[in-house]
A = this chain, B = another copy of it.
Amino acid sequence: MGRFLSTFQGRLDSKGRVSLPAAFRVVLEEDGFAGVFLHPALEQPAIEAGGNRLLATIDGLIGRFSPYSEARDLLATALYGQAETLRPDPEGRIVLPERFKAHAGIGSELVFVGLGEKFRIWSPQKFTAHLEEATLSLRDVRASLSAPDGEGKFPPVARGT
């Protein structure tokens, strides 16, 4: 299954529309999702977006808690309540809700960054800064890859698909 790869620049037109990168639209269609699912990133001033795969991840997270449990309600509020599904117009453009633009500090320009099963939308400046920081942290991760298990800042974790 295709992945979201590479980064693309975009600009909001006078009506607030941006076209999703064609490469990303292809992945979304493969994924069989009619539209894009978006939610604010937890720890970053960015928007996360994706299709069914992303949605399934979230469903999985919420679905572990039983209905009417406190944990479930809180998670659903933070994830579903802040999320949005947008349908691109026939040309593949979407309009970002004001709330998202505010969270990500997006003005008239933005950047789409592929992360494999999902992608992020950033303001160019914020992304540049984030990238720099990420590059630094990456060294630590890399170091932990070659260190014996259990050492390093990033403990290795088992992962499923």
Contacts and interface: CB of A to CB of B under 8 A. Distances in A.
Interface of A: 3-7, 42-44, 56-57, 59-62, 64, 67-68, 70-71, 73-85, 97, 113-116, 120, 130-131, 133-135, 137-139, 141-142, 146, 148, 154-155, 157-161
Given A6-B80, A7-B81, 6 more contacts: A61-B67, A71-B154, A76-B116, A81-B113, A146-B157, A148-B155
Contacts of A71: 137, 141, 154
Nearest to A99: B7
A11 to B, nearest CB: 17
A57 B130 CA distance: 24
A62 B135 contact: no
B43 A141 contact: no
In the A-B complex, the 7 residue pairs with the smallest Cβ-Cβ separation, listed nearest first, are A160-B160, A77-B134, A76-B115, A78-B138, A78-B134, A74-B134, A81-B113
A62 B116 contact: yes
28 contacts: A5-B81, A5-B85, A6-B82, A6-B84, A6-B97, A7-B81, A42-B138, A42-B139, A43-B70, A43-B73, A44-B73, A56-B161, A61-B67, A61-B141, A71-B137, A75-B141, A76-B115, A76-B116, A77-B134, A78-B131, A78-B137, A79-B138, A80-B116, A81-B113, A81-B114, A81-B115, A83-B114, A148-B155
A68 B81 contact: no
